[in-house]
A = this chain, B = another copy of it.
Amino acid sequence: MEKHDNFFIKKQNKKWVLDIIKNKGPISRADVSKITNMSPTSISRIVQELDYEGFVKETDLISSGVGRKANLLNICDDAIYTIGVDLTEKSIKIVIINYFDEIMYSKTIPKDKDEYFMKTLQNISDLIDNALRYKNISKLKVVGVGISLPGFVDYESGLVSLSIQLGWEDVPVAKIMQDYLGIPILVDNDLKMKAMAEFLRGSATNSSSLVLLGIASGIGTSIITNGEFYRGENNIAGEISHTIVEINGDLCKCGKFGCLATVVTEGAILRQANKVKEVSNIKEIIDYYYDGETWAINIIERVTTYIATTISNIFYLYNPKVLVLSGFILEDFELIQQLIEKKYKMYLSEPFKSQAKIVYTQLGESGNSFGAAVQAQKVLFNFD
């Protein structure tokens, strides 16, 4: 528990007023006063501070309605900046967002698959330095850097304990990047960053909770409830990939038989298909499906059935307001989407059936970098 003294209140109330102006501006002082139930005098004092510090400005707009006319307040979009990084097996992407969450800069460079981690982190640092110089943004205005990457992350310390995709084990990413840049660093799993992006600015902005299910080369879920991540004890909750769905199924790389990963991931689907026909991607299998090839029909039907039962299971296990479907297997093929949308309700009964809502991502692949930036702003920005 935090000590509740006057300094604590002051900080909380200031942040509250700023959030209201950010989310509802242009807005009058009187309306801020109404929403917060704080006195006009208090609001004026707080706004004056925020104005002096460069967060808030008066606009040319005038309040409508009864009462004395007054200029409306709005946020200064250049008050602070946040940086988001999306690190994958093959690329590094950085974005800079302003205080309006607008993307001011975006750049992607390729990454060598077997690159030593110090090289990768040095490249990220150089990318950020160059971008800030190019955009003429002072480091003093940068609240922090959010880094999105695949793997298990100790969220508190920013240590990547294991990333099979990157080939990293026990890499203290936050510490190294902080030394390079001198800016606060936040590191988290890519699916979490993507979920937060969809939650705050994407397909689930009107929901208080969501689960994001990603299916591509791997499969995973990320859970947000009451606006916060459900992380579990070690930030590894939602690892649905290695739940057992077929007790006598195929052996998984993790050592167990019948994990979900052995059924619905790209690799698993291609392995099955290649028992009959040489194919190199999902698109080819779908073409064979439309040609009426028995094996292709059976594979697609089986995969979509398992995805439909997985969707159902997620509603029963996590009871989210909305389930966001993400990843190329779920987003790129109309056939798969049609079959899933037809099947998943078969596997729901009340009270889940009438409440279940599924949507697709709005931000797509850019969700990782954007989510990393907004999450960094959310966590790292305060008035300390």
Decide: A232 near B237, CB < 8 A? Known: A37-B3, A247-B306.
Answer: no
- Determine whether the beta carbon of A256 is less than 8 Å from that of B347: yes
Looking at A162, A236, A317, A352, the one whose CB has the most chain B CB atoms below 10 A away is: A317
For residue A232, which residues in chain B have a CB less than 8 angstroms away from its CB? 209, 225, 318-320
Decide: A234 near B8, CB < 8 A? Known: A1-B16, A246-B247, A313-B243.
Answer: no
Interface residues of A in 231-245 (CB under 8 A from B): 231-245
For residue A161, which residues in chain B have a CB less than 8 angstroms away from its CB? 351
For residue A351, which residues in chain B have a CB less than 8 angstroms away from its CB? 152, 161-162, 234, 236
- Determine whether the beta carbon of A209 is less than 8 Å from that of B238: no
Q: A36–B37 Cα gap in the complex (Å)?
A: 29
* Interface majority SS (helix, strand, loop, mixed), chain A: loop
What's the minimum C-beta distance from A20 to chain B, rounded to whole angstroms? Answer: 9
Q: A347–B251 Cα gap in the complex (Å)?
A: 12
Residue of B nearest to A228 (CB): B226
Number of copies: 2
What's the minimum C-beta distance from A206 to chain B, rounded to whole angstroms? Answer: 13
- Judge if A62 is at the interface, Cβ distance under 8 Å: no
- Determine whether the beta carbon of A254 is less than 8 Å from that of B349: yes
What's the minimum C-beta distance from A204 to chain B, rounded to whole angstroms? Answer: 12
Q: Which 7 A-B pairs have the closest CB atoms?
A: A232-B319, A237-B319, A243-B313, A4-B9, A254-B349, A233-B321, A239-B316
Interfacial residues, chain A to chain B (CB-CB below 8 A): 1, 3-6, 8-9, 12-13, 16, 36-38, 152, 161-162, 208-209, 225, 230-247, 254-256, 305-306, 309, 312-313, 316-321, 346-347, 349, 351-352, 355
The contact sample of 15 A-B pairs, CB cut-off 8 A, is: A6-B9, A230-B230, A233-B355, A234-B351, A237-B317, A237-B318, A238-B319, A241-B316, A242-B316, A243-B316, A245-B245, A245-B247, A247-B305, A256-B312, A317-B317
